[in-house]
Structure 1
């Protein structure tokens, strides 16, 4: 600073008019320096932007120019340099009133939304919290301080982007921040010039070149604003030495976000810095990748700025003989102990667009052409919804308000969008002429047929600005105009969100596409040719104006492209419910027909499937596709319910063979099987596609499954009472009422259970046409249930019910599978015991088997869920036969109650799923290694298992007690199953005893005695019967062992 200030004072001594500049500078130096101290209020996690930064900029400019050239500068240039160095960051002074205005502005909301894609997780978390996507409960007990920190982060990030423009505004009107700097001594023109110079330190170099090279200064001298602006930019970049971060500011802010910490380490990495009029040299040695990236980015800016400035120096220099810029010396960043494959760049992965498209095409992310057509249709729907919101906002806001009283706003939407249809055409193209052909040419049959697809909408249209986002895969999510409109819309109305690969998905079908569009805010129709760049073609977009009258009048977008397929496909899929596609398949005569338009029919079927649940009507080849009904009650068996709280539309259709079909904002997703008793379609009209769906938009993502599951349960808890009331108004709804009430009883939400139990209709349901009612089964004191898996799967014998003996034999299909039946027993307070079971070989399937299992159901809570007969069956026939992992769980017998877990393990397999919900489980000590069905059984990691279980048991007990219980179980299970396991056994009981004695002080004779006592005191008669069977089985085991030893002795004698 001293060199420039001294030069200015010398000028003032020589020219009286320059004294005004000195007076203004003396005043501003103190006022602005004090104002810059307020920067730390909002930017405490940034490097210093106070007077020390300003002085360093002036020092670096002085080193670039040298004393001689500084002495040649005019008084106005000197004043502009001093003022610009001090005031260029004055925009980072943000009064409270401005922060509050930011918070209320739509532009700030756009910025807050964009921070969800910020590379720094601190900013992503801050955005989610302030947008209400993450609750305060996620922040812990110190949530007020965390909220303050999050707000500071996002306000500072917004202010950093705005501060160059704010600096220009404050220079012109300093009173807006309470700065009492006079503006009467100098012409307003000079203050405007200074403000513009300050603003351009945050712009690109070409924007800076728009400044005038020479401007009239004070008195008779000239000012050179372009030169001053370029010196400010370069001096600002060269302030990168260590010490930019203030320890006091850091302590006041708290933990720095990771991006700020990387900047701090970047400054600390500077090992060599030298600037003089002839050369600039900078070297940094970084200790981690993040600081290296920041250092390399900063140094690349220095290199680019010097090169750009050198190339235009003749236009920038204040005088022709002023001398040149310093040369670029070594300007490099190094990553300690790492190799850089490119000069100054860390090796990193980059994504090539064409390779990405190839990966998407080959990796089945988009399953086929029809999936890509759906992507284009969804783009058309999204554009249409944006236009409908723009033109029909009042009606849609009224519909949203009406949803608070139970009305379905989607019904109103479907009435409105009836006049905004999407038109799709699938047309055959002549190979010879390129014209539309109704039939394949009979005179020139070929191996390929060509088709043209056109998708036209009357949506928002595409502007020149939108094309910048279209060029980048996923780039549309950064379109601020569309993000703002989407945020203002009600949740249920919003487009599906920018996701997938958007318009570029067309390249998965073709190499070239044509697009015509007129944006609503423009009268210009654009014709765009999209080319993939294969086979010598140029890649990218070709844009030119178009005179298309239809689009000029109505607006919207029309996409068309052609593709070739086999005239007769070599492979087809026969699993289809589309009538037209079936007609194509069944009507093909390979003797006479030389063309089968299978692929075109598949695309038409996909369009119809999309249209059925779409929010906007679709017209296919001139005919409207079937759409969802607009009324709350579609027909006698379908009921529509919109849940405002979750923004989910539910369509109920009663059935004991139910399924759950999902849609996302009208676009069909997968059908999820296993929703018993109700056919339910759920249209998920909330959230963003990237948070809920896989890339293809055909299925939920792992995160989406969790989010949708919780929200769907919440919606169903409010919808089910209304649906049940609707069913009761029908005269022929007994079966539907039974199904819905039974679904409620078995649901995982208590309020739904209570609804189902109050209704009680499910008790009237019969397992089969002449079978028992569910209420009859539940009223029985005790039941014997036999599930014959072999006959249920391979035969159609009638089921049997003997009410006198309380015996139920399930020999064929029933409306409730056994697993659901036992879940109902458990839900209604009954206790289920697996009494015994056996395995039968399946004829014609060597090595396969089907089981017949005997269960007991009782009101008696002392019923053992797994007596010895059931345990032996599981050990011999079900152990390790399916599932993931070698560690399994099984129902916990009362004799080993110490081993019952509080919660089910998140890993391993339930060894018997049929009544796995009937009580607590235990983890088996026997571990299966190798093939699941034939794997060897070991007792590995028993000590670790005991300690793990001791921390998770239902009834806390000392670890020694858990160890005794496990040893009892091991000995007991070994007696039951060792002979049956045969060669699968790969353990020694004595080794386990020794290990547990060493680790826990367990004595084997105590264990055996304990085991005998528990078996003796088995409480229930039926359990005793099971134990009697087990004892008989143990006798047989002993006899089998003796027989095996006799055979071995005979073999030995024969060998001798």
Structure 2
């Protein structure tokens, strides 16, 4: 068909000014396919966009309008049709300099970040290989492989695909500059070249954009061009290129894997079982074996259907004249789903959450410990908006190096957050109504921002906001999404009023938001109001709550579970509950949340209540919201605090108090975590550090602290007690790789620390290391009446009675230190079944274990007749098989000292006291008897066990036979000592 169109073009332009159209076409027909062949370099996993696609588009157009109508086309319309079919995808030909520029662009970094935040994105796996570092894209793993190579291709392809139509327009207008395509310009008027570019650009645009193209345009000679008509035909011809041969197996072999969306599109083409297009009807049937293929095919059919409908509705404003006929109607666009079924005709079944019930579900799930925690969400929104504005208003030359930068601290004072609580009910009714207002000087809200505000968890999709955040230092960036976001406010109120002025649009809005669970079903009312320069950007949010008094006349509420200090609250806020009988417990919760939020907030938080204004984080009152130390690499701020009895380490995430299981001995810390991957760090309710994060973070934090110890020790050089605690901390948590940060020999002050022995004398800790040959640890499984650790000296041996309470962790420190000075550990016989006696010595003992204890440990049985459930080895087995001490007589079973045996229990001797004793794997295993529900032991010496022990044996020349013989000897000895059933 293309040759027939060429012939028509030739006949219509022969011996006229329009002959330049034919000349230009013949030239482009040979030149453009060379450029199209470049597309496969970046897009090998896409359907082919080469010359064959261009010719199919032309054939489809001819089928739609008919050959007789084509004869009626003006010469310039034929040229536009042929040329646009060849040029419309040329924007997918990407030169190297454009790729290099893109890889360094902020937009591409933002694009990668968007994918990485969306686990369902088809390119998530490929984007996960990279990270942003100093505003550049770098590999997470230093190694380079074919998967990385493919990932770069796939990400670039998807990035450029989004605006390839506009790129096509740019190339058409200036082909030499854009891709070094030597297609002559200057012969055909530039106006018509731009028309051609606009036609190509419109093939991916919204249909309304097509209608912006001119219906008629003066061509060459007396012929008119009809850009809108040609653009519509191009869109249909492109959509109808659906046949099975669109993908090249040769190109697909050039990549190791294929993104799942490309695979679906490939299967979409292969699913076409019937395809008929002519001037009267469009009839296409697909047969799919997979829901996802059926969905994407259904979506493509819907594109075709909608395009036909749009063109039909506007046909009189599209077609050059009525003699050109009409579009074909749709006879069938049918998707058959083999094997699987739809619930509705076109919808894949899937679980959904009813929007009206979502908030109720989240309330019932206990996402927040109390409803009042929603105030943190509101305050955090204000803080985030303020930090964004601060960043936008800073001088370009300001380079904030750390959270303690003096310029930054000065600027933060300009962005306070003001909270006002005022009583608005004036009746004598016991219930009270309060209006709470939160005002900030942030970036405000625009109409577009409301979309993200109204949809739970959608703020990460706000690209404008994300772009600003990406330019900020990580430690200054907003904290990200938690919980259910703004909508959590509807746990305590049904209506929220917002007055806001956008920093970007300078538009002022009045907004009213209703509870999705109320009669108004989540309605949002928006009114634009006239704004003046006096109204600065920012947001004023207000809502009302009803509360009950603490001392109601009728006892209708029980506040016994309110675990807050009411009277401290009254003193701090100058409220007398006996004078102001209407003060409520709910109000106390609100103030408590405000105080907690303000404690380490980087912004000043002011509270006005009943006319009195207070700054909640007033440094003059000892409230410290600054941190002395900052680790740039790990994005951690912290303060070091001397340990006093039971005080503990306090954690914050981006200035907000959170709970953690992490704690330290000897020193305490206030730690502010400033990393931005909040979803990996903090629980959904903002209350806790995630367990999986804590596991690695403990080591990271410990190293950050060790790096700053020399500075802290120098500051505290005159305080002997703190020097002792610093020394204990360093020695207790010491790792060999800390040598690069400090010299351990300079932190031996612990040796001068004195403890009281039972005889009343004071002994320095260093004395026990230098003068004692033996340490006896009485380890009580169940603490006695007075569970306080005590010490005594006998015959140059130290006796430690470990009864459970170790003030300042001195015993724990000694255990850790003794591991270094006392090489050997053994177990002594004890007459008290609630106490084990562990013996540390500088000389090798004759026996390591007290055999009765070992027997009970590995089998659950004892050689004694007593049945005492309170003995030291009364336990539920933690593992099927244990690691136990290895006596010399079983040395054939001894394992390498450095062997990692974490998959079984190694706690026969507490690891804090010793982990260097010889070890073996027990031949006894536990299993639970389903009938009696008791744990029973069995002997299991498998071939795999023998092989494993041989491979990991301390003696590389040991034989399997020697291992078997040693196990047999061990089992015979301990089986012979058993004289009663399992406890």
Identify whether the pair has TM-score above 0.5, normalized to the shorter chain. Answer: yes
Residue 521 in 1 paired to residue 514 in 2? no
Cα distance in 1 for residues equivalent to 2:671 and 2:246 = 55
Once the two structures are superposed, the pairs formed by residues 256-655 of structure 1 within 5 Å of their partners are 256-320=258-322, 322-394=324-396, 396-397=398-399, 399-400=400-401, 409=404, 412-430=407-425, 441=427, 443-446=428-431, 449-547=432-530, 553-567=535-549, 569-576=557-564, 580-581=568-569, 595=582, 597-621=584-608, 622-626=613-617, 640-655=628-643
CA contact (8 A) 2:730 2:747 kept: no
SS in 1 for 2:384: helix
| Alignment match, 1:215 | 217
Number of residues of Structure 1 aligned to a counterpart in Structure 2: 943
Task: Sort the Cα spacing of 1:555 and 1:13 in 2 relative to 1 into closer, same or farther, 3 A.
Answer: closer
What residue number does 2:159 align with?
A: 158
Alignment equivalent of 2:800, drawn from 808, 833, 857: 808
Separation of aligned partners in 1, 2:621 and 2:189: 68
Deviations 1:612-670 (A, max 9, x none): 11121111223111257999x989xx982112222211111011645332212212221
Give the one of 875, 882, 888 matched to 1:881: 875
Alignment-derived partner of residue 662 in structure 1: 651
Q: 1:919 aligned to 2:952?
A: no
What is the aligned counterpart of 1:749 among 735, 741, 756?
735
1:709 is matched with which residue: 693, 698, 707? 698
Q: Judging changes above 3 Å, is the alpha-carbon distance between structure 1 residues 738 and 290 closer, same or farther for their aligned structure 2 residues?
A: farther
Counterparts of 1:948 and 1:529, CA distance in 2: 73
Moved more, 792-801 or 753-762: 792-801
- Cα 1:624/1:582, change in 2 over 3 Å: closer
* Residues 835 and 867, structure 1, Cα contact 8 Å, conserved in 2: yes
* Residues 78-93 of structure 1 aligned to structure 2 (within 5 Å): 78-93=78-93
Would the alpha carbon gap of residues 886 and 62 (structure 1) be closer, same or farther in structure 2, given more than 3 Å must change?
Answer: same
Distance in 2 (alpha carbons) for counterparts of 1:315 and 1:827? 91
Q: Check conservation: 1:878, 1:912, Cα contact below 8 A.
A: no
State the alpha-carbon separation in 2 of the partners of residues 624 and 932 from structure 1: 66
Distance in 1 separating the partners of 2:847 and 2:132: 52
Please give the alpha-carbon distance, in whole angstroms, between the structure 1 residues aligned to 2:932 and 2:777. 26
CA–CA distance in structure 2, aligned partners of residues 762 and 528 of structure 1: 63
Provide the C-alpha distance between the structure 1 equivalents of 2:140 and 2:518, rounded to a whole number of angstroms: 56
Q: CA deviation at 1:37?
A: 0.8
Per residue, is there more helix in 1 or in 2?
Answer: 1
Which residue pairs with 2:20 in the alignment? 20
The counterpart of 2:902, out of the listed 882, 901, 905, is 905
How far the C-alpha of 1:68 sits from its partner, in A, is: 2.5
* Contact 1:610-1:668 within 8 A present in 2 as well: yes
User: Once the 2 structures are TM-superposed, how far is the Cα of residue 350 of structure 1 from its aligned partner?
Assistant: 3.3
Contact 2:500–2:508 (8 Å) recurs in 1: yes
Q: Distance in 2 between matches of 1:420 and 1:745?
A: 44
Specify whether residues 767 and 177 from structure 1 end up closer, same or farther in structure 2 by C-alpha distance, changes over 3 A only: same
State the distance in 2 between where 1:588 and 1:31 align. Answer: 88
SS class of match (1:473): coil
Aligned residue in 2 for 1:740: 726
Distance 2:670 2:159 in 1: 42
Measure the CA separation in 2 of the matches of 1:330 and 1:345. Answer: 18
Q: Is the 8 A contact 1:4 1:82 kept in 2?
A: no
Structure 2: runs of 5+ lacking an equivalent: 551-556, 863-870
Q: CA separation in 2, counterparts of 1:752 and 1:863?
A: 37
Partner Cα distance (1:394, 1:944) in 2: 71
Task: Tell me by how many angstroms 1:340 deviates.
Answer: 2.0
- Listed as ranges, the matches of 1:147-296 within 5 Å are 147-175=148-176, 176-296=178-298
Displacement of 1:749: 2.6
2: distance between equivalents of 1:879 and 1:530? 61
Shift of 1:313: 3.1
Q: Which moved more, 1:862-871 or 1:214-223?
A: 862-871
| In 2: Cα distance, 1:804 partner to 1:798 partner | 16
1:265 and 1:598 map into 2 onto residues whose CA distance is 63
Distance in 2, matches of 1:486 and 1:606, equals 27
Given that 1:664 and 1:684 are in contact with CA atoms closer than 8 Å, whether structure 2 keeps it comes out as yes
Could you say if the C-alpha distance between residues 31 and 456 of structure 1 is closer, same or farther in structure 2, counting changes exceeding 3 Å? same
Q: How far apart are residue 854 of structure 1 and its match?
A: 0.9
The answer to which of 578-587 and 869-878 deviates more is: 578-587
Residue 554 of structure 2: aligned partner:
none
C-alpha displacement of 1:567: 4.6
Q: Secondary structure at the match of 1:72?
A: coil
Matches within 5 A, 1:20-59: 20-59=20-59
The 1:963/1:344 distance shift into structure 2, 3 A limit, reads farther
Higher mean alpha-carbon deviation, 870-879 vs 201-210, is at 870-879
- Pick from 779, 787, 792: which aligns with 2:779? 787
SS of the equivalent of 2:628 reads strand
Aligned residue among 746, 751, 761 for 1:763: 751
**How many angstroms apart in 1 are the aligned matches of 2:337 and 2:215?**
41
Q: Shift of the alpha carbon at 1:315?
A: 3.1
CA contact 1:581–1:602 (8 Å) conserved in 2: no
Q: Report how far residue 101 of structure 1 moved.
A: 1.9
Q: Give distance in 1, aligned partners of 2:878 and 2:148.
A: 43
CA distance in 2: counterparts of 1:972 and 1:916, whole angstroms: 28
Specify whether residues 612 and 588 from structure 1 end up closer, same or farther in structure 2 by C-alpha distance, changes over 3 A only: closer
Alignment of 1:957-996 (within 5 A): 961-976=962-977, 979=980, 982-984=981-983
Cα distance, 1:360 vs structure 2: 2.3
- Mapped partners of 2:98, 2:952: distance in 1: 58
The residue correspondences of 1:814-829 to structure 2 (distance < 5 A) are 814-815=806-807, 816=809, 821-828=814-821
Query: Alpha carbon RMSD of aligned pairs, Å?
Result: 3.7
TM-score (structure 2 length as normaliser): 0.87
Q: Describe the SS at the equivalent of 2:70.
A: helix
In 2, Cα distance between equivalents of 1:814 and 1:511 = 52
Larger displacement relative to structure 2 (813-822 or 20-29): 813-822
Partner of 1:903, secondary structure, is coil
CA drift at 1:193: 1.5
Residues 940 and 201 from structure 1, CA distance in 2 versus in 1: closer, same or farther, beyond 3 angstroms? Answer: farther
Alpha-carbon separation, structure 1, partners of 2:368 and 2:435: 20
Helix, strand or coil: the match of 1:61?
A: helix
Q: Give 1:668-707 correspondences, 5 Å limit.
A: 668-706=657-695
Q: CA deviation at 1:379?
A: 1.4
Cα separation, partners in 2 of 1:878 and 1:963, compared to 1, 3 Å: farther
Residue 649 of structure 2 aligns to a residue whose secondary structure is strand
Q: Secondary structure at the match of 1:926?
A: strand
Pair 1:658–1:961, CA change in 2 (3 A): farther
Corresponding residue for 2:928?
Answer: 929
Unaligned runs of 5+ in 1: 431-436, 841-850, 985-1056
Indicate the larger mover: 789-798 or 383-392: 789-798
**Aligned residue for 2:70?**
70
* Native 8 Å contact 1:832 1:855 kept in 2: yes
Distance 2:874 2:803 in 1: 26
Q: Please name the residue that 1:1026 is paired with.
A: none
Report if aligned partners of 1:414, 1:630 keep a CA contact under 8 Å in 2. Answer: no
Q: Does the C-alpha gap of structure 1 residues 811 and 698 become closer, same or farther in structure 2, counting only changes over 3 Å?
A: closer
Q: CA separation in 2, counterparts of 1:952 and 1:577?
A: 62
> Does the aligned pair in 2 maintain the 1:425–1:454 contact within 8 Å?
yes
Counterpart in the other structure of 2:868: none
Residue 1011 (structure 1) aligns with: none
Q: Describe the SS at the equivalent of 1:359.
A: helix
